[in-house]
Structure 1
Amino acid sequence: MATVGTGVITRAASTSDLSPNAASASGDKFTAGHDVWLFLENTSGAPITVTVTTPGTVRGQAIADLTISVPAGGYAVRGPWPADTFGDAGGLVSLTYSTHTGLSFGAWKVGA
């Protein structure tokens, strides 16, 4: 699983600062946060399902993993990703994919 950085959107951010990452076959991770949002783009000809692991619990009960359907030739934007629900022991959010072919993503937050 690859761990990618969270980009910061500022008035001075360059295009390369905001470039999406190619999805990894084994899944990806990014830092959880109340101010972090996720952009997913699918350039393939079929929908892709992205599963977000939810290791958090509510009163000892497991929270079901979140699934996001990214349409063929389309995109999905989701967030925020609070650590108490979506973060693992290291504060990272884990993503897995029905296929990584044609899928790119970025995790961003708005900076000052």
Structure 2
Amino acid sequence: MAAISAQRVAVAGTAVTYQSAASGGDTAPVGGGLKLHVANGGASPITVTVVTPGTLDGLAIADAALSIPASGNGFIPLTSVYRDPVTGRANITYSAVTSVNVAVISD
């Protein structure tokens, strides 16, 4: 599992640096204004899952799962609902990682 750092987007613009999605998943910071950007450069769609650790009245809260088409992009807001109580970070998995790049951006 690789740790992704947040990159702040400046008012004048920012060239965001991407990293390859890790086959064992990634972790990312959570909080207001943070978003996970996933760029799928592969020839097949993938699913990105952000684990929702917790329950509501004893019932598990569903994980966030986003399907990203081949050669497509997607964003998931990394709100505090995804905060792992042990690490304080979001846990992210991918159905495939070949040609998949990720970045966490902040307003």
1:69 pairs, out of 67, 70, 79, with 67
The structure in which a higher percent of residues are helix is: 1
TM-score, normalised via structure 2 length: 0.90
Tell me the distance in 1 between the aligned counterparts of 2:67 and 2:84.
22
- Residues 22-41 of structure 1 aligned to structure 2 (within 5 Å): 22-41=20-39
5+ long unaligned stretches in structure 2: none
The CA RMSD over aligned residues, in Å, is 1.4
Supply the distance in 2 between the matched residues of 1:46 and 1:7 (Cα, whole angstroms). Answer: 28
Identity of aligned residues (%): 32
Task: Return structure 1 stretches of 4+ with deviation > 2 angstroms.
Answer: 11-15
Q: Give per-residue Cα distances to partners, 1:67-104, cap 9 Å, x unaligned.
A: 1101001111221x222x21102220111111111111
Q: How does 1:13-92 map to 2 (within 5 A)?
A: 14-15=14-15, 18-79=16-77, 81-83=78-80, 85-89=81-85, 90-92=87-89
Contiguous gaps of at least 5 residues in structure 1? none
Helix, strand or coil at the partner of 2:62:
coil
Q: What is the aligned counterpart of 1:98 among 95, 98, 106?
A: 95
Residues 56 and 87 in structure 1, CA contact (< 8 A), matched pair in contact too: no
Corresponding position of 2:2: 2
TM-score (norm 1): 0.86
Partner of 2:90: helix, strand, or coil?
strand
Q: What is the number of equivalent residue pairs in this alignment?
A: 106
